[in-house]
Structure 1
């Protein structure tokens, strides 16, 4: 694997969530983990 170059990928979390919210059951599952997501956000 010679000459591999690092190519970062942009991540827009709001766009990701907007698309994911269209899936059945996503919003309920995401909301159920709100406390865990807040904790992870504070740790980062």
Structure 2
């Protein structure tokens, strides 16, 4: 299912930025980015 593009591109999966079809896996990608930032800071 394609959903609306919402949020900051810093935490978006590449397929969302390209405008491709995506699903719940992009949320896992974004969560991973946030966890990496928390570890690094």
Range into which the TM-score falls when normalised by the shorter chain: 0.3 to 0.5
TM-score by length of 1: 0.33
The answer to which structure, 1 or 2, has the higher relative contact order (CA under 8 A, 6+ apart) is 2
Higher-Rg member (1/2): 1
TM-score by length of 2: 0.33
